[in-house]
Structure 1
């Protein structure tokens, strides 16, 4: 269901304010992280804990393809780094 809650203005730094009533309705608190998802010509903000694996995978694949990043190698390096941190 889509519902227009309000119109917000983008600042010179690219910032927008999520109206208080919207934050309250969705339980968004100060300091929480939101995922920014571009879907066709829309920008979708979603609480990070609600971002599902398929969306994360799609976003990572898209960026990796654009940037010519070997995701398998990157994951291997991240795992090796994490093991060294113990």
Structure 2
């Protein structure tokens, strides 16, 4: 268990062991999540990434993506569609 003291301006120094466990470095953002009577303190980037993973869960199967080449092919297809739309007005 780590303890931090709050300054008169409401600031704290996050103990080094906690920063390491959360993967925090200078300039990173943290998030405070309310869960009942508790406040969870977390690395905001990791929470956002986890939420993104959950949101995209099952999308690869839905799109029929089985391997990395399928993803590359899909990206190429989307780029071509964007190129075609952008240049359709120039014809």
The interval holding the TM-score normalised by the smaller chain is 0.3 to 0.5
- The structure with the largest alpha-carbon Rg is 2
Instruction: Please report the TM-score for the alignment, with normalisation by the length of structure 1.
Output: 0.47
Structure with more helix by fraction: 2
